[in-house]
Amino acid sequence: MNSQPPSKIPEEFAASAGYMLNQTAQVIAEMVTEALKPLKLAPQEYGVMRVISISGPVSQQTFADRYNIDRTMVTGLVDGLEKRGYVDRQRSTTDRRVNLMHLTPLGKRALTQAVRSVKKAQAEFLAPLTDEEWEATRLSLVKLLEAHRPI
């Protein structure tokens, strides 16, 4: 959707890992935020639902660890999702301190839509790269993250 001819980034910036990663992360974050806006989902709310759907019912603490945010933030996220009927909390029977978050059928349907929108945004974001280029980039990012942030 960008019809202007792309201009060159000064090489000193292009050489900076911090600048390049932060700027590109900001671009995709904006695109995903926009993609989720019609569904009235914030990126972090989408994150909650994705984590549940992928990893099965998880505790709020587990989600906080995975997204590297504080557990005090998760309370409000789940509140909002529960109010909309997308998620519910169920006390763990094996450790009754723990709230296991579950996707409701309504939440599953909303998530299906959201995943579709996010995938579309991601495809648009990655369009300038060949599949091979992105795959190589992705693998490097995985290496970096696994080395520096073991879960």
Interaction site with DNA (CB under 7 A): 42, 44, 59-62, 64, 69-76, 78-79, 89, 94-100
Check residue 37 for interaction with a second copy (CB under 8 A): no
Closer by beta carbon to DNA, 16 or else 75: 75
Among 6, 72, 98, 113, binds a second copy (CB under 8 A): 6
- Residue 131 binds: one of DNA, a second copy, none (C-beta under 5 to 8 A by kind): none
Please give the C-alpha separations between residue 103 and each of 64, 92, 115, 129, 151, in angstroms, as whole numbers. Answer: 17, 15, 14, 34, 23
Q: Is 136 in the site for a second copy (CB under 8 A)?
A: yes
E-assigned strands of the chain? 58-59, 87-91, 99-103
Q: Which of 2, 72, 93, 94 binds a second copy (CB under 8 A)?
A: 2
φ, ψ for residue 96 (rounded to 5)?
-75, 5
Cβ contacts of residue 73 below 8 Å, gap of 6+?
A: 44, 64
